[in-house]
Amino acid sequence: MYEGERWYSCQKCQHSVPDDEKDEWARLLIDDSL
């Protein structure tokens, strides 16, 4: 999941991920951190 976090962080900074995908990634990251 660490690679996913880096990918998400990179994409998030570039604002190139659709809101739906951002929400999905955020949900996965939150679940992973619990």
Range of the domain at 27: 2-33
Average pLDDT over residues 1-21: 58
What is the SS3 assignment for 16? coil
Is 0.85 surpassed by the pTM of this model? Answer: no
Between the alpha carbon of residue 17 and those of residues 14, 25, 34, the distances in Å are 8, 10, 24
pLDDT surpassing 60 at residue 29: yes
Q: Which two tokens stand for residue 4?
A: 């996913």
Average pLDDT over residues 6-26: 63
Cβ contact 34:10 at 8 Å: no
Q: Percent of the chain at pLDDT above 70?
A: 26
Q: Which two tokens stand for residue 14?
A: 């570039």
Work out how many domains the chain is built from and give that number: 1
Q: Which residue has the higher pLDDT, 3 or 1?
A: 3
pLDDT grade for 1, boundaries at 50, 70 and 90: very low
